[in-house]
Amino acid sequence: MATPIILAGIKNCDSVRSAQKWLEQNGHDYSFLDLRSDQFVRHTLGAWLEKVDWTSLLNKRSSTWRGLDDKDRDDLDEARAMTLMMKHPALIKRPVLQIGDVIEVGFSPERYSELLKT
């Protein structure tokens, strides 16, 4: 039995759509986790943060980040970043690909090919 693939993101994100298209074109079944849904919970983000550094997961180039108050952006640590990402899911760099214990942040066809052996 193949390891389940989860692709997490926001439906209208171009990078997420590119990753979905790549997975479909390469014959990979996956479950989509909408970061803005009730199914995305704190323990999911916590599990990701056990595998990747919070600075890799936090999207400081987003308009959501630019819209935060300085007090929210200053002196961040993992706990504060996690709270911000749960409150504002658009702060999570997308997409997040989860294959078992492997977490890949962002979309790269080459990296997906390597991870999924296609």
Query: Cβ(65)–Cβ(91) under 8 Å?
Result: yes
The tokens describing 93, both together, are: 């760099």
- Which residues form the domain of 23? 5-116
Task: Pick the catalytic residue from 6, 10, 13, 81.
Answer: 13
Q: Is pLDDT of 2 > 80?
A: no
Sheet holding 5-9, edge to edge: 31-34, 5-9, 96-99, 102-105
Question: Does 13 qualify as catalytic in the annotation?
Answer: yes
Q: How confident is the model at residue 42 (pLDDT cuts 50, 70, 90)?
A: confident
Answer whether residue 38 shows pLDDT above 90.
no
Question: With 70 as the cut, is the pLDDT of residue 1 above it?
Answer: no
Amino acid, single-letter form, for residue 115: L
Token pair, residue 5, equals: 């693939």
Identify the band that residue 39 occupies on the pLDDT scale cut at 50, 70 and 90.
confident
Segment 57-85 shows an average pLDDT of 95
Whether pTM > 0.85 for this model: the answer is yes
Q: Give the number of domains in the chain.
A: 1
State the CATH number of the domain containing residue 62.
3.40.30.10
